[in-house]
Amino acid sequence: MVRFTRFKDCELILGRANRQLQHNRSHSVQQDFSDKVRKHRQILGERMVQERRNDNYAVILYDKLIVNDQVYKYNDIT
């Protein structure tokens, strides 16, 4: 487990590690999200796939879904 003080350092390490371990299935490097954020990302991921099938630009950043420059956040209530 590693903790970075700068987000840029974290992105640099994650990018390099994923390129180096691209063909190695026994090791991986990824960010450690809370259970709540993981659940939100899973649900938003399903929506992201739908949006991409409709030829929309869609990405997930933490627990937010961005579709064509509009930000959507998962809501437990609705």
- Amino acid 34: pLDDT: 79
- Amino acid 46: pLDDT: 92
DSSP letter (8 states) at residue 21: T
Average pLDDT score, the chain: 84
- The average pLDDT across 38-60 equals 92
Q: What CA dihedral angle connects 66, 67, 73 and 75, to 10 degrees?
A: -150
pTM assigned to the model: 0.61
**pLDDT range class, residue 54, cuts 50, 70, 90:** very high
Residue written as tokens 């590693």? 2
**pLDDT range class, residue 5, cuts 50, 70, 90:** confident
- Alpha-carbon distance of 38 to 27, in angstroms, equals 20
